[in-house]
Amino acid sequence: MMDKYPWMIGCLIFVFLFIQSGICIKWLSLQHSNLHWNLTSLNNNPGRGIRSGVRSPCAVAKRRYGFIKVQAKLCRNAMEAMPHVQTAAMLAADTCRIVFKDRRWNCSSITTAPYLTPDLTRATREQAFVYAISSAALTYTMARACASGSLYHCSCATKPTEPPEGTFQWGGCGDNLKWGAHFAKRFIDNAEKYVAEKAKKNVKRDNSLEENREAILKNEVAVINLHNNKVGRKVILEGLRIQCKCHGVSGSCNIKTCWKALPSIAEVGTRLLQKYTNAKEIETKAYEQHIATLKPKKISDQLLFISKSPDYCTKDERLGSLGTVGRQCNVTSNGPNSCRQLCCGRGYRTVVEEKIERCQCKYYNCCYVKCKVCRTMTQRYECS
């Protein structure tokens, strides 16, 4: 059969590879976890969870929430940081869902982590966004956690080295972006590097290019993921703003101290959405050459992807497309949530709903409320 359909070999390799490649965002599954990250549960239970009947939260995270080896190790060494990692998972998932809520691909697949659908494993544009927002959210959460004093190993940012522009002094407590980025690199980038190294080892000199294809691609995808992680962190760095506080007699601003504060996560999401729109497709084989030929500056800020995405109009499980049948659209809008765009030209149906509510409520005497019953008709539009 393989003689007759040689392309099948390619397809099988293709599918196999990409099912493996989203491994380092599986920790986003912590958005649903209710693990207790405390040392008590670990001390009672030094590494040998099964025997004592209680498991260390890091072992559970590895088994159930898709932590890979290096992440589980960091978890054990820095457990006090783990509740913040969990917060970051929620922040990343929520931001992604909010940013994409009006679009055909609406980030709902992030909810099924640690099981990832092909839209988030084939090195797509969507995957690029998710990597960037995850790395950004972890950086963000840790930077805040440091400044809020809830971590033992870090506190407020050190004062900026550049002299203040204006009549203020550096002071206050800046969000510790440096430490946040450092942690995000250890937790996410190191995991990705581990995958890349493993793939590199599987490239055998005596094999043909085709035989090595899977390992090479895996390594290249990891390199791209690392790049996208960096873009996410950079967006935060670029969004830093100066916040100030006045000191002085009765509200006068005789002395002003300022520090650098993070942008809002919504801003980070919006900025990354722009980068998603302008993301750049990379030829798999030539990633490293590509980097060399393009001017570094030009490429360094863009999100990168390998596989073209489907239009997400129709359901196709192989591509991780859920389709838009039944999605609520807006007849008057011109944006991506308009019925025309969201329903991909298939049309829509109008759902009329009657709402029965208590209304026009009035107080009688002191303590008695009387309402009328109102019926209102509302219309919804759903893609056919």
Ligand X SMILES: *[C@@H]1O[C@H](CO)[C@@H](O)[C@H](O)[C@H]1NC(C)=O
Q: At 304, give phi and psi (nearest 5°).
A: -120, 145
- Residue 29 DSSP label: G
One-letter amino acid identity for 296? Answer: P
Span from 116-124, 318-326, 339-347, 351-359 in contact with ligand X (CB under 6 A): 318-326
Nearer to ligand X, 195 or 322 (CB): 322
Does the protein bind ligand X through residue 314 (CB under 6 A)? no
Span from 3-11, 100-108, 145-153, 261-269 in contact with ligand X (CB under 6 A): 100-108
Q: Which of 33, 111, 148, 333 binds ligand X (CB under 6 A)?
A: 333
Nearer to ligand X, 47 or 248 (CB): 47
CB of 321 to ligand X, least distance (A): 9
CB of 39 to ligand X, least distance (A): 8
Q: Which of 332, 365, 378, 379 binds ligand X (CB under 6 A)?
A: 332
Does the protein bind ligand X through residue 106 (CB under 6 A)? yes
Span from 37-45, 138-146, 170-178, 201-209 in contact with ligand X (CB under 6 A): 37-45
178: β partners: none
Q: In this structure, are strands 304-305 and 315-316 parallel, antiparallel, or unpaired?
A: unpaired
CA-closest candidate to residue 282, choices 264, 299, 260, 261: 299
Say whether the peptide bond before residue 114 is cis (omega within 30 degrees of 0).
Answer: yes
The answer to whether 169 and 257 have CB atoms below 8 angstroms apart is yes
Does the protein bind ligand X through residue 101 (CB under 6 A)? yes
Does the protein bind ligand X through residue 38 (CB under 6 A)? yes
Rounded to 5°, the CA angle 180-195-176 comes to 5
Burial 172-187 (b: 16+ CB within 10 A, else e): bbbbbbbbbbebbbbb
CB of 331 to ligand X, least distance (A): 7
Residues that bind ligand X (rule: CB under 6 A) add up to a total of 14
DSSP string, 309-325: P--S-SEEGGGTEE--T
Q: Which of 56, 124, 309, 324 binds ligand X (CB under 6 A)?
A: 324
Contacts of 191 (CB under 8 A, 6+ apart): 23, 24, 68, 70, 71
Residues forming contacts to ligand X in the complex (CB under 6 A) are 36, 38, 40-41, 101, 106, 108, 322-324, 327, 330, 332-333
